Structure formats: C-alpha cells, structure tokens
Amino acid sequence: MARPAILITGAAKRIGAAIARHFGENGWHVIVHYNHSHEAAETLSRSLPSAETIRCDLSHSGAGVAMVEELADKLTDWRVLINSASIFPPDAVSEMEPEIFGDVMQVNAKAPVRMAQTFLRLAKAGGDGGRRVIQITDQKIANPNPDFFSYTMSKHALSATIPMMAMAASEADRIYGIAPGAILPSHDQSDEEAEISHRMNLLHRRTSAQEIAEAALFLSHGRLASGQTIFVDSGQHLVPQPRDVLYLAREQAS
C-alpha cells in the first residue's frame, strides 16, 4: 500500500467524517469504521481517493479488539488510530442508571483503550516515525457540569489513560488526546439553540469540525511530546458552565 493507513472509529458522520475527509485529502488510506451508518460510510468512502469501510459494534466487549487484530494482520503501514466513536445519552447526577453507565463506559472508555492497546501491540507502521493513538475526549474533562453524567465520567476515564499509556509506550509511539467543545448540534437541538450554545466560549465563536480534523492531522506527525491533550473549543473549557450548553442555550432561546 502506497499510502499510510488510518482507522477512524465513528467515521461515517459528524466529527469522525470530517477527520476522515481531511486525512483522505492529505494522502492517507482511510478505514471508515461505522456501526449503523452503512450508507453514510460507503458514500464517504467512495468520495475519498483511497478508503475502505469496516463495521463493528463497539458495545460488544472484545469486538473492537477483534477489528484491530483483523486490520493489523492485513495492513502493512498502519500509522494512526483515532477513536472518535462515542455515545451521548442524557442521564442525571442525582441517580446513576446502571444500564446507561455500562453502555457508555464500554463504548466511550473501555473499547478505545483496549483497541489502542491492541493497535500498539500489533500494528506495523512504515518508516521510522512510530504509531499514533489519538483519543477524542471532550472539553468537559476540564469544565465538568452535572448533565450527561455517565458520558462525562467516561470521557474523564478515557482522558486519564492518555498520560498513563504514553509513559508505557515505546519511544517512537505517541498517545494524544483532542478535547473538542460544542461543535455540532446535539440530540434535538434547533439551529437557533445550536447557534447560541456553540458560541458559549471565551472567543464567542463557533468551532468547526474541520478544526478538529486539522488538529488530528497535526498530531499524526508526532510533533508534540506524548501524553498531551489539545483543547479545540475556542476556550470553552476556560468558561465555567453550571449546565451543559445544550440546556443553557435552550433556556436563553426561550
């Protein structure tokens, strides 16, 4: 394979799709992971210079590991794994719902960590630049609020693994995080609510998914020391917020 390969989980839609397009346009062979979004994944794959799709339900324990093992066996130059897939169900800080908590921790924390471990153990990367794991977290790791309780816990858990895995990785490999702010509409947000919520940051501007993609491409070159997280949120993590911006915007719009 002439192009270096990258696997992006949750790449059929939203931020994952923006990352996939950016890497594809910059000379990479993109593996577009999806679960339910088959048509969107195939459409995206066909639009890129070099791409393929792979389906995997990350809610099943061990499925992500098996996917990485399968890809590692056939890819000769697999340099980057980006874990972008996540689920974002609403739940309250007042009482944990065990089923929601279990599902969220599996998809958002356990699966990406186990996939990263397997990738670093098995993937073959061309050249001497080593391999890169990029975990997509959330600005909530520095700016938590009580909403989306299990989701926020899962992103804190995933974030905590980044410096730990960096300490244990080989000298050539790098483990990074990207912490996005509010970028795309969530759940049933209206356009008006999204316009308000996405400007609730230090710069009062909307951060685009393209900015996340550009940060990911930058990190893929390994120019930062391993274990670091980049916040791409127009300073949202520096503005304390008592609730998720989805609800703050809804209150303001009404």
Q: CATH number, domain at 170?
A: 3.40.50.720
Q: What is the pLDDT of residue 1?
A: 61
Q: Residue 195: inside a domain, yes or no?
A: no
Q: Residue 200: inside a domain, yes or no?
A: no
Structural contact between residues 29 and 4, judged by C-beta atoms closer than 8 angstroms: yes
- In the numeric block, the tokens 């996005």 are attached to 180
Structural contact between residues 178 and 212, judged by C-beta atoms closer than 8 angstroms: yes
Q: Which residues contact residue 200 at a Cβ distance below 8 angstroms, ignoring those fewer than 6 apart?
A: 182, 236, 239, 241, 245, 248, 249
Q: Residue 247: inside a domain, yes or no?
A: no
Q: Residue 191: inside a domain, yes or no?
A: no
Angstrom distance (rounded) from CA 129 to CA 146? 41
Q: What is the pLDDT of residue 118?
A: 98
Q: Residue 201: inside a domain, yes or no?
A: no
Tokens of 58: 């990350």
Tokens of 148: 């989306």
Q: Which residues contact residue 180 at a Cβ distance below 8 angstroms, ignoring those fewer than 6 apart?
A: 15, 136, 138, 139, 207, 212, 232, 233
Q: What is the pLDDT of residue 96?
A: 87
pTM value > 0.85: yes
Q: What is the pLDDT of residue 159?
A: 98
Residue range(s) defining the domain that contains residue 216: 5-185+206-238
Angstrom distance (rounded) from CA 82 to CA 252? 35
Q: Which residues contact residue 188 at a Cβ distance below 8 angstroms, ignoring those fewer than 6 apart?
A: none
Angstrom distance (rounded) from CA 96 to CA 246? 20
Q: What is the pLDDT of residue 251?
A: 87
**Which stretch of DSSP H or E encloses residue 53?**
strand 51-55
Q: Which residues contact residue 27 at a Cβ distance below 8 angstroms, ignoring those fewer than 6 apart?
A: 3, 4, 49
Tokens of 11: 């790449």
The C-alpha angle 81, 168, 159, rounded to 5 degrees, equals 55
Q: Residue 244: inside a domain, yes or no?
A: no
Question: For the chain, what is the domain count?
Answer: 1
Structural contact between residues 187 and 91, judged by C-beta atoms closer than 8 angstroms: no
Angstrom distance (rounded) from CA 109 to CA 83? 10
Ranges under pLDDT 50 in the chain: none
